[in-house]
Amino acid sequence: MARTGLTDSHCHLDHFSDEELPDLLSRARAAGVSGLVTIGTRLSRAAEQKRLAGFDSDNVRVWCTVGTHPDHVDETPVPTAGDIIAQTHEDCVIGIGESGLDYFHGKPEIRPRQQESFRANIDAARQTGLPLVIHTRDADEDMMSILRHEHEEKGAFPFLVHCFSSGPELARTAVELGGYISFSGIATFGRAESVRAVAAEIPAERLLVETDAPFLAPVPKRGKRNEPGYVAHTARVVAELRGMEDDAFAALTTANFHRLFTRAA
């Protein structure tokens, strides 16, 4: 498929029924979306993400990632990098994660477990060259510390900080370490001036967009169940912040997506 249109770099198709998916993908295509990634939140359910990647069509390409969200690290033993890598051999798997740190939901006692899982996912990304999709919430200091330590002590790895809602220092750190940053519907919310400021200023070549569907529907769909086609609303807001036309912004962010997710053909 030609690399045209918008790419929703982060959604969760496993929150939709199989019966809903054909119409959901049709609406996404009508909104200008040519590709999307359904994101793994539990390594134990990697097979489900791969199955969902099979819903792609001539109009919308679907890929997936495999990994364990920090909110779920206490459900099963923390995987090794080898456990994660074993789930990445199919071509539809284009990334690792989502993994990271969540100190908003996570109780303090599970933070060491989140960090252990995060480092295992980093190691898997480093060994495979597949980008790591990073979730971070209320954990900027530890996130920056781990990212810097892993890069300095063990070597670089490709990564994307998804659904950016952190401070500018984390954005600068991510960019300095070669990372990319993705913006969700949060960028359209009335009180998200700080997020929009980061979206307006980061280097153009490190910028992606996403929905995080079915969560965080952008204005004017806020309060509804989010879906991949709604990425167009977020894209329009961020494009305006950067003084870009919609088509040019779609071309930019989709080119960035393919530069990072090199397996996404």
- Residue ranges of the annotated binding site for a divalent metal cation are 10, 12, 98, 135, 162, 212
Report domain 6-260's class: alpha beta
pLDDT attached to residue 59? 86
The CA distance from 95 to 90, in Å, is: 11
Beta bridge partners of 102: 137
Reduced to 3 states (helix: H, G, I; strand: E, B; else coil), residue 17 is: coil
DSSP sequence for 34-91: EEEEEPPS-GGGHHHHHHHHTT--SS-EEEEEE---GGGTTSSPPPPHHHHHTT--ST
- Residue ranges of the annotated binding site are 10, 12, 98, 135, 162, 212
pLDDT attached to residue 1? 42
pLDDT attached to residue 3? 59
Domain ranges in the chain are 6-260
pLDDT attached to residue 56? 85
Per-position pLDDT tens, the chain of length 265: 445 799 999 999 999 999 999 999 999 999 999 999 999 999 999 999 999 999 987 789 999 999 999 999 999 999 999 999 999 999 999 999 999 999 998 789 999 999 999 999 999 999 999 999 999 999 999 999 999 999 999 999 999 999 999 999 999 999 999 999 999 999 999 999 999 999 999 999 999 999 999 999 999 999 999 999 999 999 999 999 999 999 999 999 999 999 999 999 7
- Token pair recorded at residue 237: 């807001």
- Express each pLDDT in 116-175 by its tens digit: 999 999 999 999 999 999 999 999 999 999 999 999 999 999 999 999 999 999 999 999
The CA distance from 42 to 48, in Å, is: 10
Q: Say what the pTM is.
A: 0.97
